[in-house]
Structure 1
Amino acid sequence: MTKTDAKPDTNNGQTTEWQVRTELAAAYRLVALFGWDDLVFTHLSARVPGPEHHFLINPYGLLFHEITASSLVKVDRDGQVVQAGGLGRVNPAGFTIHSAVHMGREDAGAVMHLHAPDGVAVSAHRDGLLPLSQTAMLCLDHLSYHDYEGVALNLDERERLIRDLGNKSMMLLRNHGVLTAGKDVPETFTYLYFLMKACEIQVKAQSCGPTWMPSEQAIRTTAEQSQSLGAASKLTWPALVRLLDSKNPGYSV
């Protein structure tokens, strides 16, 4: 793969494009490490620092465990390739979903979308995510829903998707999968981990028979305690990077 012109640099403590590239490549590999990938499908994206309204997304055709910082493709808000990475092409459905959030939410520095089976299963459940675990209760106040409209190729869907997301950080795309949005890659991946773990627990709990519901007071209390959930990334992300460095290094080239 040919390295892009985006080189490691510093900017008086400000986030650089290379830093974002490295974090996003790490997130792709972590998704693969946790078994949440779907061959070459689904997408994680991140906003490129600066005023140009560019963002980074995976080249269509690479498996998630193959992604590197330099292989990521830079596109504009219309999905046109600005700077090619490894393969130089992107999935148009991925562009539709991610551009909707990046264009509609200035605070969305990163967006992550998966088709992992447990997430899809809960998205297809009539009642969606239930308060069956502490993890789920930490997610509920951050969660929204969007009804399935078909493979996301219709640009008109962007308006409805961002309307349904509102100011939330997590979304269940009905009959489709999960989505998270946050200020940066570490925060967005942390939201993703909590949402996926909540879905995994729900699928297992419901397979065991009748479930036990917590009290309404416990649900409300946990919702109040969840307001700083994104801040957990300050602890989780460095630990996740250490895990990745021990299992699948090489993403930062």
Structure 2
Amino acid sequence: MATQIKQPESLKDQVSDAEWQARLDLAACYRIFDHLGWSESIYNHISLKVPGEDDTFLINPFGLMYDEVTASNLVKIDVEGNNVGGSPYMVNKAGFTQHAYFHKHLGSRANAICHVHTTATMAVCSHKDGLLPTNFYACNFQNQIGYHDFEGVTVREEEGERLVRNLGNHSILMLRNHGPVVMDGTIQGMFLKMWALQRACEIQVATLSQGEANLVTQDVVDVHQRDLSVMQSQGGAGMFDFEAWKRKIDRIDDSWRN
């Protein structure tokens, strides 16, 4: 007999309006990632800082698939790993250790963080040259990505210092032979970066499968990034994209709102 997930009562009237909106956005993000094929069984993570609070963030309950995540069953923890929201669920240590260190040390530039194991992004993380300027989307990220050599499962806090150092002033860290960490000040901005990075990696893998790639020159990359920054300022920094995907998953299954 299949195990049924017992959903907690709605937290809507038990948390601040700002926290409830953050819970809705994060639960929606998990469902969107799952719909796009970016989930990895019960593993990987998307985390979001709780607005108006110091050093607390929301993350997925360990043991649930992404399509089982709801606004109310997200786990609220502090940067030391303490469950401060009364959730009956535990969290994956790998998710807490890595995400907590970024949330603690990077401030508002890392309010929203995701780590994925999609085939395309892992393939590029495993390529000796990383992300190459082979396509439109890849040009978005040239000279804007940090790289971190593989050290095994990210469960040791001391690795966090090297993660932050290798990230530098960027917002994407490619964990070599592992997968990317993508962050932003907003969940909408993080989603848009992740979407574009996924497309860049998919196209790179497809391009290199044909043989030698035609790489975009740095002077063209510079012009591309300059013009892109103007376009993104008019597009709500991912807001339009994120809201459109929320409408799509609502049409499929709106249980994430519970």
* Aligned equivalent of 2:171: 169
* Aligned equivalent of 1:198: 200
RMSD: 1.8
* Aligned equivalent of 1:151: 153
TM-score (norm 1): 0.92
The counterpart of 2:248, out of the listed 213, 234, 243, is 243
For residues 102 and 229 of structure 2, what CA distance do their matches in structure 1 show? 21
* Residue 237 of structure 2 corresponds to residue 232 of structure 1: yes
* Residue 65 of structure 2 corresponds to residue 59 of structure 1: no
1:156-196 deviations in whole A, cap 9, x for unaligned?
Answer: 01111111112212121111101111112111111111111
- Structure 1 runs, 4 residues or longer, greater than 4 Å off: 8-11, 228-231
Inter-CA distance 89–10: structure 2 relative to 1 (3 Å threshold): closer
The counterpart of 2:133, out of the listed 109, 131, 137, is 131
Aligned residue type for 1:167: N
* Aligned equivalent of 2:85: 83
Q: List aligned pairs for 1:26-45, cutoff 5 A.
A: 26-45=28-47
The counterpart of 1:3, out of the listed 9, 25, 41, is 9
* Residue 224 of structure 2 corresponds to residue 222 of structure 1: yes
Q: List aligned pairs for 1:106-145, cutoff 5 A.
A: 106-107=107-108, 108-145=110-147
Instruction: After TM superposition, give the deviation of residue 8 of structure 1 in Å.
Output: 8.1
Does the 8 Å contact 1:4/1:84 carry over to 2?
no
Q: List aligned pairs for 1:92-107, cutoff 5 A.
A: 92-107=93-108
For residues 55 and 217 of structure 2, what CA distance do their matches in structure 1 show? 45
The counterpart of 1:48, out of the listed 41, 47, 50, is 50
**Equivalences, count:** 248
Identity %: 35
For residues 79 and 13 of structure 2, what CA distance do their matches in structure 1 show? 23
For residues 161 and 6 of structure 1, what CA distance do their matches in structure 2 show? 35
Aligned residue type for 1:198: A
Does the 8 Å contact 1:53/1:77 carry over to 2?
yes
* Aligned equivalent of 1:182: 184
Aligned residue type for 1:81: N
Inter-CA distance 217–116: structure 2 relative to 1 (3 Å threshold): same
Structure 2, unpaired ranges of 5+: 1-6
Aligned residue type for 1:252: R
TM-score (norm 2): 0.90
